[in-house]
Amino acid sequence: MAENSNNKRRDFLQLSTVTIGAVGTAAFIWPFLKSMNPAEDTIALGTTEVDVSQIEEGQSITVKWRGKPVFIRKRTKDEIDEAKTVNMSDLKDPEEDIDRVKKDEWLVLVGVCTHLGCVPLGQKLTDSKGEYNGWYCPCHGSHYDTSGRIRKGPAPENLAVPPYSFLNDTTIKIG
């Protein structure tokens, strides 16, 4: 009997040793893995405030946000109409224009092609804007329309809309 309870006690001790040891090892590894996440100085640069008062209608600017280009375009009346009147069934990734903008004239997009990550053309006046008057990705020929939606080519999705808000009429905060 005595030996039996001895054994039980030992089993318990061994089990708790192994358990606590395993928990301790996991807890020890955690900070190491965590250290690979973006550091605080990187996170602090995660929001960008952009003054858009200088942009004329029909013009675009490119700003850097989290190391990626963000396109801000002040759309013309025609471009807005074009974007709003598209038939949803023509779209590969159907999305209403109204869901992609906060104010009709301002289109804010992450300028990274959803195919393989190239930066599409269409920001400069001299650039090819593609068949749908928006952006054209030269890598594999994806065409985006005036709402940044994919219309033709291999890209599976529309250009992403980053989180942003209007601090006032002329300042956009991205991130």
Partner 1 sequence: MSGNSEPRKYKNPVLNWIEFRLPIISYFEKEYGDYPMPKNCNYFWSFGALATITLVTMIVSGIFLAMNYTPHTEMAFDSVERIMRDVNYGWLLRYIHSNGAAFFFIIVYIHIVRGMYYGSYKYPRELNWILGVFIYLLMMATSFLGYTLPWGQMSYWGATVITNLFSAIPFIGEGLKTWLLGDYTVGNATLNRFFALHYVLPFVIFGIVGLHVAAVHVHGSNNPAGIDIRSKNDTVNFFPYMLIKDTIAVCVFGVLISAVIFFGPNLMAEVDNYIPADPLVTPAHIVPNWYLAPFYAILRAVPDKLGGVALMFGAIAILFVLPWLDTSKVRSCNFRPMYKWFMMLFFVNFFVLGYVGMLPAEGLYLLIARVGLVYYFGFFLIITPFIGWIEKPKTLPASISDVYLGGGKDSPLTASQKEIY
Partner 2 sequence: MTKILILILTLIFTFNVHAAESNKGSMPKHEWSFNGITGTFDRAALQRGFKVYREVCAGCHSMKLLYYRDLLDIGFSEAQVKAIAAEHDVLDGPNDEGEMFERPARPADRFVNPYLNDNEARANNNGAYPPDLSVITKARRYGEDYIYNLLMGYEEAPEELEVGDGMYYNKWMDGNQIAMPAPIYDGSVDYDDGTDNNAAQLSEDVVTFLKWSAEPELEVRKNLGIKVILFFLVLGTIVYLAKNRLWREVH
The answer to whether 100 touches 148, Cβ cutoff 8 Å, is yes
Give Cα 40 distance to the centre of its chain: 19
Q: Is 140 annotated in the active site? A: yes
Selecting among 9, 10, 140, 173, the annotated active-site residue is 140
User: Residue from 3, 40, 99, 169 that binds partner 1 (CB under 8 A)?
Assistant: 40
Q: Which one of partner 1, partner 2, none interacts with residue 34, CB within 5 to 8 A by kind? A: partner 1
Residue 156 binds partner 2, judged by CB under 8 A: no
Centre a 10 Å sphere on the Cβ of residue 142 and count the other Cβ atoms it contains: 25
Among 1, 2, 26, 27, binds partner 2 (CB under 8 A): 27
Annotate 160-173 with DSSP letters as a single string.
PPPPEEEEETTEEE
43 backbone dihedrals φ, ψ, rounded to 5°: -65, -35
**In angstroms, what is the minimal distance from the CB of 135 to partner 2?**
20
Residue selected from 33, 41, 56, 169 as contacting partner 2 according to rule CB under 8 A: 41
Out of 2, 5, 34, 126, the only residue in the binding site for partner 1 (CB under 8 A) is 34
By the criterion CB under 8 A, which residues form the site for partner 2? 6, 9-10, 13-14, 16-17, 20-21, 24, 27, 40-41, 44-45, 49
Where in the sequence numbering do the catalytic residues fall?
A: 140
